[in-house]
Structures are given as C-alpha cells and as structure tokens.
Structure 1
Amino acid sequence: MRRAETGPASRGGTARWWSTGAVVGVTAVLAGLPLAVQGRLPGRLATHWSAGGSPDGSLPLWAAALVPAGVWLLTVLATSVRRRDTDPAARSWRPMALAPTGAVLVGAQVSIVLANLGRTDWHQARQPVLAVVLLGVLAALAAVAAWRFAPRPAAVPAAAPVLEVPEGERLVWFSRAANSWLRLLAAVGVLVAGVALVALAFGLADPATLWPVFVCSAVVAIAVATFSSVQAKVSEAGLEVSFGPLGWPVRRWSPAAIESARAERRRPAQVGGWGYRISGLGTTVMLRAGECLVIRPRGRRSDFAVSVDDAERGAALLNTLRARLSTD
C-alpha cells in the first residue's frame, strides 16, 4: 500500500483548502445571517450607536448583509496581491491580517442582528453592553491563533560576510534610519493631544469626550515616535539597537549570543508593514525598504532584522567578532 504524500506541496494544498474554506465561511455568515432571520428583523437595521447607547445610524436589510461581506472580500483581495519577486515566506503574515478582521466583522454582524432581532423599528434596537469588549477580545484571540499556527519559513543558510580587521585594532560601526511619515504621524498625535489638553484646561468641551481623545492621541504619538527612528551599533560588546529620539528602549546581543549575521533586502510588504513588525520572517524594524542587517540569535529559530544603511559592513564586523571569540 502506497503511503499518502505529506511533502510541502501536499501541506500547501491543504493550507489553500483551509484558507478558501475560511474565506467562503466568513462571507456566508456575513451575508447570510441577516437574510436567514429577515422575518424577525425590521426593514432597516440599526448599525451604529451613540455613546449613550441609542442607535444613530442604520442600513437597509440588503445593505446590512452585503456591505460587511464586501468589506471582507476586498480585504481578502488586498492581502492576496503581492509582487512576483516577493519572498514566499512573506505570505505568512496574511492570516495574521485576515483572522482578526474576519473575527471583528463576524462579531459585529452577530451583535447587529441580535440587537435588531424582534424589533419593529431600528430606533428600538439596543446594542449589547459587552459587544465592544467582546469584539476586542475576539480579535486578539484570532490574531494570537493566526500567529501561533501561521506557516514559518524554512531556515535559509545565512551568507556570512567577514571584515578584515588587523590584530589589536578595534572598530565601531554605526548606522541610523528614520521614517519621515511616522514622525509626521507622531507630530499629528502630539498636536491633537495638545488641543484636547487646552480644551480641557479651559472647559471648552465635555471632559468625558476629551479625556479619551487626549489619552489615545498621547499614547499613539509616544508609540509612533519611539519606533519612527532607529540606530544600530556594532562594537566589541556586540550589537546594540536603540529606538526613538531618546535612544530608548534598547535591545542588545553580545557576539557570543549571535549565531550568524548577514545583509538582506526586505520590503514592508514582506513583513506586514512599517515600524516594529513580527511576521514569518521573524522580527523586523522596518523604516524604509531595502538593505537590512539581519542576525540569527543563538538558540532561536527566527531572525531579528533592522533596516539601516551599510548593513553588509555591520554584518561583516559582527561575524569577525564572533570568529575572534571562537579562536580565543
């Protein structure tokens, strides 16, 4: 009896079937749920609620069924498009984008249907109290599950450039990178937070509305500013990567903690976007497309990469430092 084939092609076919089934299943739920119980729903469905819990937006039954399904299918299409020369491993971030999106859309559709069920007019609908919290939890669980089971790329033998350094001579390598768009976004966050703070100080608006705006804008501004620039340094102590205008936080690896170092060209599409990204390629600090310094920490199965200039020289110096340790 011949054993079933379980190689990469077979696993890839199974993954495609699962992916297709998930896309079809989510589409069917989004479009079919309102239509399946349309006899118990009003002609228009409440789809948005004010802060006080009263409905302030609605859609016809057919639109409430087709709009979320259309958003889902457009998201699937957008995440399916990739350049021909993109590394196949880049596809592993796709389920991490689709899983939370599908979970949020399905959860929102279920909440809308339950809120309108048995009502004769959409103004009577009341949103479930825990709907927003449950949607957030559902999206987080879906993202974690997608990350846990996303396909990981096979280990690629790393090219190991080496820099010729005369005995007794010490070298230090520095490189920086910044993203002007992220800096602009951080500045906008600071501006919005400042306006909200002034409005709070002078009582120009309801504090219950302004405090969330101030807190969210400040948090976004700090987070984006922190990861809008990066500096990499290679010295006798190993690799040091610091973030933001204050050079904090910092990640460090000694030469002994690095298994290999190399330079590699990466694009945002490969790692899932800009900033501090986690994907099937490992962790990437992506501030601009192009050359990245990539290391494989010892004892780890994934890489750490940072997009900085002159990455090949930094990798070569790291490999030289590693070689010196092995000969001492």
Structure 2
Amino acid sequence: MHDDVHQETVRSGRFMIVIGLSTVGLVLAIAALVVAAPSGWQEWPPSASDVGVLVVTLALTLAVGVGTALMRIQVRVDQVLEVRVRPLWYRRRIAPTQITSATVVQMTGANSGGWGIRLVPGGTAVLLDGGPGVQVEVAGARSLRFRCNDPEVVVEALRARGASVD
C-alpha cells in the first residue's frame, strides 16, 4: 500500500513539566523532613508498617511526578493511526478506513476539558500543551482529538490510506 510512515512526538508543555518537577520537589522535601526530624518519634516510634506505607507513598508520588515531567504523545500513521501517551499506557489504534472525518483543530486546555487524557462529550482528547491538533471521527466509536506538530501532514497521511477527510 503506502511505504511512507508519518511519525512524530510531542513533548510535555511547560505547564506539565512545572507540575511534574514541583511534585518531585515536594516528595524530596517531605523525605528530607522525615529523615532530619525524627526527634518527635522518641515517645512513639513508628511501626515498620508506618515506615513502609510512607516509603511506598513517596516512591509512587515521585514516579508520578517524574512521569508527568517526561510525558509525551507519539503519533504514527501507517496501516493504522496510533496515538500513544508515554510513559503511561494509553494507546489508541484506529484503522484509516474506520475514520469518517479528520480535521485540523486548534487545541487548548479550555476546549479539550483540560490537559492530559480527557473524556469529552462523544470522545477523548489528548494534549500536553496548547497548539494544533487533529479531530478524528470514527465510525461506531468515540471520536479522538489529539495534539500534534504537523496536523496537515497527519490528515494527508490518513487521506492517502483511505480515511474520509474533510
């Protein structure tokens, strides 16, 4: 069919990076306070389960913060349109023949329900920062709106693979 593959990656916007790094800083500050100020524990020392819960909670929160700062959207158009969010496990694959409409849209947090992976009426929106994107209507399924750097190229690649494009 078509040998050329369109592939691109959209990195986290400044807002998502600030949120992620702030979360990491908060975890490190809490850990430093716990290590530096154990004097209050002399009367009632923490149990092993208390320490375990604290360590696991801080580790998970640290992972969320790092993941938020490093988040990216990967868009690939080959035999299918594939939109992935890394390091999360979100992935949506749509055959171009299932696409009834693909249009270029301007995406903001305000018109997409916020930043991240959002359920919007009739579909899903995926964005990490504001900018151009593609709105895809899918036959018999929820629509998908995602942020990308070259929406015109994505729409053209879908058209070349049999998608109905506006």
Q: Who is 1:218 aligned against? A: 62
Bigger helix share? 1
SS in 2 for 1:292: strand
C-alpha deviations, 1:33-75, integer Å up to 9, x for none? xxxxxxxxxxxxxxxxxxxxxxxxxxxxxxxxxxxxxxxxxxx
1:177 and 2:10 equivalent?
A: yes
Identity of aligned residues (%): 22
Report the CA distance between 1:298 and its aligned residue. Answer: 2.2
Aligned residue type for 2:74: Q
Bigger strand share? 2
- Judge conservation of contact 1:231–1:243 (CA < 8 Å) in 2: yes
Q: Which runs of 4+ in 1 moved over 4 A?
A: 198-203, 205-210
Q: Who is 1:259 aligned against? A: 100
1:250 and 2:96 equivalent?
A: no
Aligned residue type for 2:155: A
Q: Who is 1:191 aligned against? A: 25
Provide TM-score, normalisation by structure 1: 0.39
Separation in 2 of the partners of 1:285 and 1:312?
17
Report the CA distance between 1:182 and its aligned residue. Answer: 0.5
Separation in 1 of the partners of 2:120 and 2:109?
11
Separation in 1 of the partners of 2:104 and 2:26?
39
Provide TM-score, normalisation by structure 2: 0.71
Report the CA distance between 1:174 and its aligned residue. Answer: 1.8
Aligned residue type for 2:30: A
Bigger Rg, structure 1 or 2: 1
Separation in 1 of the partners of 2:145 and 2:32?
41
Separation in 1 of the partners of 2:96 and 2:134?
15
Tell me which of the two structures has the higher relative contact order, counting C-alpha pairs closer than 8 angstroms and 6 or more residues apart: 2
Which residue, out of 275, 282, 285, partners 2:116?
275
Q: Who is 1:305 aligned against? A: 145
Which ranges of structure 1 fall in alignment gaps of 5 or more residues?
1-167, 324-328
Which ranges of structure 2 fall in alignment gaps of 5 or more residues?
none
How large is the Cα RMSD of the aligned pairs? Answer: 3.3
Separation in 2 of the partners of 1:169 and 1:270?
34
